[in-house]
Structure 1
């Protein structure tokens, strides 16, 4: 490891790199980092760099909560060890490189609060069961001129939605994104002007789950840097205005056994593929507590906004929080996957993927029953019609999310007791902060956090 890290550092230094961002995401989905000089990278690859253990109990506003007894004092240190195989020079910040980290205890042993390790455990469990997962993110974000207080009053583009005309004023930014993503080793399926105010969307290619979470963090860094270089700021916040469409980071997954996509079916998933989707649907209220955990997340989950306000699934139904996308004669059966819409940038990507895998694997194990798909928007139904169809609203407040999470051992158990305690403490701290503030203030305070 030392020899390989030294060689990588030497090559980067020769190319003009002077420092490396060692990056992770906290329990609010907010990226954090330590920058090490390029000359210190080889040592960091072996011994890590120090950081306070309290990052696990930072809330969305950088307040530290001591409500979780496991991290109840300001004492304690961890080591951040870069994952060297994911080391990248940042095309949009050419003097800097980037690498995700594992968080270890001070003595180098596993640390219970490391979110990346939680996902790695689920991937290892899947391998024991003969299952292999693929995952990819669609990222929605909004742009505004640098220095803007908000996006709605100062949109970076004025539409029309999905129109090439909307992007003409952003030509240099778009070109930089395409260049920098390719240079940073990130494959984009497509990019376009989305439906919301000054909103863009791009899709990352599917890969293994841990790489997908790493890619999500690297994509954020790439987008923010390109925006800054072109006089813009980017917001990934779940809500940019009370009446505006919010930003989701839709999570696509598929599951394979012996190379065969279990989600492939005759227009709908069958067998273990149906059980996988059934497991996600069964655990959707608790999943949402992890995949859309912030106060603005609950504000975003409204009918009519393609966000997924009710617990149901559908085939290509964009109002469904679980949207099944079948394979076709044109795309091939291996294209089949399921999209989770109740997911956004306030979710830690490693935890989001970990609980999705845990719920889906439990569904396969239990042969979870998948009800008939719904092709309509239940938001337009009466409450009685929804009750008859068994379509219930997803948790609409932090307290409802916490209740759903605690009631579901499949989802909460994937985190482990220590991390679950820290995660809940952070969510409670956010909820206490929001309880004293108006909706407009809540949206404004989160707008540039991601």
Structure 2
């Protein structure tokens, strides 16, 4: 590792790079980083860079909560160790590079609050079971001129090419910088919401998908700044419009075969995967859409997934099965989780999705029949007949769902679960004294 880091540092320095962002996401999904001079990269790869242990109990407003007994004092240090094989020079910020980190204890031992390590454990467990996952994010975000939260960054119409004419320079920079940063994308377009765009990241292994999500955010923010724009990834940038989802697509393979493959409904282990996700959906959502604005986003009729059900190509469903086709091939099949947004830590989000899906396969969980309609337009009796219930709509409901599901809560481990819950409780206490408009405004630029 020392040789690889030294070689990488030498190449970066020759290219004019002066520093490296050592980046991670906290328990609110907010990216954090420390920049080290490029000449210090090799040393950081061996000894790490110091940081306070209290990052695990920062809430969404940078308030440090001491509500978790394991991190109840300002004393303590951890080390941030760059994952050198994921190092990337930032095309849109040529004097800087970017690397995700592992968080370890001061003596180099595993640290129980490291979110990336949680996902690493689930990936290892999948390999033990002979399973391999693929994952990819669709990132929705809102564009505004710098210095304004009111004027739209593009006038619409939704999905229109001429909606983006005024953003030509920004769009060109995104395409250029994504390619330069080694990020594959499927498409980029004007989305349904006011001044909303979406970019789809190429599917890859789960750890790379989580790393790529952080890198994509940095790439988009930098390109926007360079073109006099500002972007919001907040779950709800404005109460009057559609929110920003970060839809998470996953598929699972055994011996190279996609278990979801087919042009009809998933069967066998593929059905078990869907059934496992659906069974644990309330607890999953407590991790994948965990913030107070997340609950404001989960409204019927907004393609956000307000009720617990699944469907085939049903964009109102929180679990949307995307089958293969004659054009794309059966192996294209995947499941989209719509109750996912930027306030989720990407490593934790993927870890719990993998865990729920693997449990469904292991136990042979059979999902109910898919639903093609929007249950938001049904009567309470119709929803009850079909077993469709609202997903948790407030922090207390999410916390209860998480605690009621050991399959999900135990993925995090006792220490990290305690810190995560303390952060959520701090956010809930803050929000209890504020209006929805104040909550939205306070989170607009956090992610």
Task: State the TM-score, normalizing by the size of structure 2.
Answer: 1.00
Q: Which residue of 2 aligns with 1:88?
A: 88
Partner-residue secondary structure (3-state), 1:274:
helix
The residue number in structure 1 matching 2:314 is: 317
State the secondary structure of the residue aligned to 2:139.
Answer: strand
- Is 2:151 the counterpart of 1:162? no
Aligned to 2:383: 386
1:397 is aligned to 394
Matched residue SS, 1:424? helix
Q: Does 1:273 align with 2:278?
A: no
Note the alpha carbon deviations across 1:99-150, whole angstroms, 9 max, x for none. Answer: 00000000000000000000000000000000000000000000000111x2
Answer yes or no: is the 8 Å Cα contact 2:263–2:330 preserved in 1: no
> CA–CA distance in 1 between the matches of 2:128 and 2:83?
23
Q: How does 1:402-441 map to 2 (within 5 A)?
A: 402-441=399-438
1:225-248 CA distance string (max 9 Å, x none) = 000000000100000111210000
In structure 2, the partner of 1:113 is: 113
8 Å CA contact retained: 2:19, 2:97: yes
Give the aligned partner of residue 31 of structure 1: 31
- Measured after TM superposition, the shift of residue 10 of structure 1 is 1.0
SS at match of 1:386: helix
Q: Report the CA distance between 1:265 and its aligned residue.
A: 2.8
| Matching residue of 2:366 | 369
Matched, 1:349 2:346: yes
CA distance in 2, matches of 1:194, 1:307: 14
State the alpha-carbon separation in 2 of the partners of residues 328 and 216 from structure 1.
27
Aligned pair count? 447
Partner of 1:204: 201
* 1:437 counterpart SS class: coil
> Paired residue for 2:53?
53
CA distance, structure 2, for counterparts of residue 7 and residue 271 of structure 1? 48
Instruction: Quote the Cα distance in structure 2 between the aligned partners of 1:390 and 1:155.
Output: 40
The 1-side partners of 2:365 and 2:406 are apart by 16
Aligned counterparts, 1:7-406, within 5 A: 7-148=7-148, 150=149, 153-406=150-403
Runs of 4+ in 1 over 3 A off after TM superposition: none
**What is the CA distance between 1:327 and its match in structure 2?**
0.4
Whole-angstrom CA distance in 1 between matches of 2:316 and 2:191: 16
Q: Distance in 2 between matches of 1:115 and 1:443?
A: 26
- Where structure 1 has 5 or more consecutive residues not aligned to the other structure, the ranges are none
Residue 218 of structure 2 aligns to a residue in which SS? helix
Q: Distance in 2 between matches of 1:128 and 1:195?
A: 41
Residue 266 of structure 1, CA deviation: 4.0
> Which SS does the other structure have where 1:238 is aligned?
coil
Local SS of the residue matching 1:98: strand
Long gaps (5+) in structure 2? none
Instruction: Please give the alpha-carbon distance, in whole angstroms, between the structure 2 residues aligned to 1:63 and 1:186.
Output: 33
Instruction: Indicate conservation of the 8 Å contact 2:262/2:331, yes or no.
Output: no
Partner secondary structure for residue 191 of structure 1:
strand
Q: What per-residue deviation string (whole Å, max 9, x for no partner) do you get for residues 379-428 of structure 1?
A: 00001100010000000000000000000000001000000000000000
Give the C-alpha shift of residue 372 in structure 1: 0.3
Q: Distance in 2 between matches of 1:180 and 1:73?
A: 42
- Do structure 1's residue 3 and structure 2's residue 3 form an aligned pair? yes
Partners of 1:251 and 1:276 lie apart in 2 by: 15
Rounded to whole Å, the distance in 2 between the matches of 1:70 and 1:265 is 47
